[in-house]
Amino acid sequence: MRIRAALVETPGGPFTLHEAELEEPRADEILVRTTAAGICHTDLAMRQVWPPGRLPMVFGHEGTGIVEAVGDAVTALVPGDTVCLTYRSCRACEQCSAGEPAYCEHSALLNAAGTRPDGSTPLSRTDGTPVHGSFFGQSAFASHCLTTESNTVKVPEDLPAALVAPLGCSVQTGVGTVRTVLRPAAGTTLAVFGAGSVGLSAVMAAVAADCPVVAVEPLAARRALAKELGATAVIDPAGDEVVPALRDLTGGGPHCAIDTTGRPAVVSQAVQALRRRGTLALVGIGTAEFDTLPVLTKGLTIRGVTEGDAVPAVAVPELIGLYRQGRLPLEKLVTEFRFADIEAAAEAALTGRVVKPVLTMD
């Protein structure tokens, strides 16, 4: 079928809209008409380093839309269902069988190969030239995409599409890191390094759990938004001594910290600031180097986190419940852009002008 898709055609190149062809769904696939798609920093980072041999490529992994058709083996969804799209898992490996699909042993093949697991691609240019896709089992920067049951969650049809889209990655990552990984008791102090969409989602989750939370963020607008969302305090790392300030604000150091930046200097600050027996959750992608001595002498726990340890079929409905209760005001994070303005939306994300750009389809 003829669709419209945002292609990246050169390493680090822009998103450009083109007509493309999308195959009909196979037995285990679901055809979704995309209504909105969030832009995540993973999309922006991956287009910079994506191998030339797997270009052109369609990214996008925070999609939402309407099911238009399903393959014969699909049983959980039917045409007309409103869905939230998320990461794909195999549902059969040791980690998936243990209820930890975020750590699926086949995650790279299913989410970041640029093809289906068998090496084929359902996308092509109108002249038949192959186009790579299946990013996170979806490639949602398109008017339509193919998904599977493992990464497609039915949601209520009355929710605004622009608020549903980020649930499948950034929001479930931030909220899940607090609620599923750290599980702080009320009164536990948290520090969140980086107040982007993941960090601010973590702030909202901490507030919902009655935990004092301090946001460390260089951009003034984002510090102000963190305060508006309920952060107890904010720190400007450009003007404040972060470690002493955190220790002072939390009565000796936070019990838990979340790093969304992946930057070695920031991770080191978190390690230095944490109180004894504290826990650091690493969410940001980067090369983190830090002094191990305080980790040892303070008995710190350092935990890597993927997708907030979320089981999407469970996590997405929980997030919707928090939103309906007013404890997850997603509208404060989202700025809508037309699909045609995808490159402008990407630039707004890179410069920090907006927290979560969401593309809305015509």
- The pLDDT value given to residue 269: 96
- Residue 175 makes CB contacts below 8 A (sequence gap 6+) with 201, 202, 204, 205, 308, 315, 319, 322, 328
Query: Shortest CA distance to 197 belongs to which of 9, 34, 357?
Result: 357
- The pLDDT value given to residue 38: 98
pLDDT at 67 over 80: yes
Q: Calculate mean pLDDT across residues 131-146.
A: 98
- Specify the amino acid at residue 199: G
On whether both 191 and 293 belong to a single domain, the answer is: yes
C-alpha 317: how far from chain center:
16
Q: Calculate mean pLDDT across residues 16-42.
A: 98
On whether both 33 and 116 belong to a single domain, the answer is: yes
pLDDT at 240 over 90: no
Residue 16 within any structural domain of the chain: yes
Q: Calculate mean pLDDT across residues 144-171.
A: 98
- The pLDDT value given to residue 63: 98
**What average pLDDT does the structure give for the chain?**
97
On whether both 43 and 13 belong to a single domain, the answer is: yes
Give the pLDDT confidence of 101-121 residue by residue, as tens digits. 999 999 999 999 999 999 999
- The pLDDT value given to residue 137: 98
Which secondary structure element, helix H or strand E, spans residue 157, and what is its range?
Answer: none
- The pLDDT value given to residue 195: 98
Give the separation between CA 110 and CA 256, rounded to whole angstroms.
32
pLDDT at 239 over 90: no
Residue 324 within any structural domain of the chain: no
- The pLDDT value given to residue 194: 98
Q: Calculate mean pLDDT across residues 32-45.
A: 97
Pairing of strands 190-193, 213-216: parallel
- The pLDDT value given to residue 132: 98
Task: State the CATH number of the domain containing residue 259.
Answer: 3.40.50.720
Residue 266 within any structural domain of the chain: yes
- The pLDDT value given to residue 81: 98
Task: State the CATH number of the domain containing residue 44.
Answer: 3.90.180.10
pLDDT at 359 over 90: yes
E-only strand ranges, the chain: 2-8, 15-22, 30-38, 63-70, 82-85, 123-125, 130-131, 144-147, 152-154, 190-193, 213-216, 233-235, 256-259, 279-282, 301-304, 334-338, 356-360
> Are 58 and 6 contacting, i.e. CB atoms less than 8 angstroms apart?
yes
Give the separation between CA 198 and CA 35, rounded to whole angstroms.
22
Residue 321 within any structural domain of the chain: no
On whether both 21 and 154 belong to a single domain, the answer is: yes
On whether both 189 and 44 belong to a single domain, the answer is: no
- The pLDDT value given to residue 348: 97
Which range, of 25-34, 129-138, 236-245, averages the lowest pLDDT? 236-245
On whether both 295 and 339 belong to a single domain, the answer is: no
Give how many domains the chain has, as a whole number: 2
Give the pLDDT confidence of 307-358 residue by residue, as tens digits. 999 999 999 999 999 999 999 999 999 999 999 999 999 999 999 999 999 9
Buried b (16+ CB within 10 A) or exposed e, 106-128: bbebbbbbbbbeeeebbbeeeee
Give the separation between CA 5 and CA 140, rounded to whole angstroms.
9
On whether both 138 and 208 belong to a single domain, the answer is: no
Q: Calculate mean pLDDT across residues 274-283.
A: 98
On whether both 345 and 265 belong to a single domain, the answer is: no
Which CA distances in Å does 140 have to 35, 185, 236, 247, 311?
A: 9, 37, 35, 42, 20
Q: Give the CA angle between residues 80, 85, 86 to the nearest 5°.
A: 160
> Are 2 and 125 contacting, i.e. CB atoms less than 8 angstroms apart?
no
Residue span of the structural domain in which 131 resides: 2-49+57-168+329-360
- The pLDDT value given to residue 286: 80
Q: CB neighbours (10 Å) of residue 72?
A: 9
Give the separation between CA 344 and CA 327, rounded to whole angstroms.
30
Give the pLDDT confidence of 279-295 residue by residue, as tens digits. 999 999 887 677 889 89
Residue 78 within any structural domain of the chain: yes
- The pLDDT value given to residue 290: 76
Q: Calculate mean pLDDT across residues 53-78.
A: 98
On whether both 211 and 301 belong to a single domain, the answer is: yes
On whether both 19 and 160 belong to a single domain, the answer is: yes
On whether both 65 and 141 belong to a single domain, the answer is: yes
> Are 152 and 33 contacting, i.e. CB atoms less than 8 angstroms apart?
no
Both tokens assigned to 160: 């605004």
On whether both 215 and 340 belong to a single domain, the answer is: no
Query: Shortest CA distance to 89 belongs to which of 104, 108, 74?
Result: 104
The residue with greater pLDDT, 19 or 294, is 19
Residue 282 within any structural domain of the chain: yes
Residue 99 within any structural domain of the chain: yes
Q: Calculate mean pLDDT across residues 72-92.
A: 98
Query: Shortest CA distance to 257 belongs to which of 193, 197, 208?
Result: 193
Q: What percent of the chain has pLDDT over 70?
A: 100
Question: At which residue do the structure tokens 């190969």 appear?
Answer: 113
What is residue 269's three-state secondary structure?
A: helix
Residue 312 within any structural domain of the chain: no
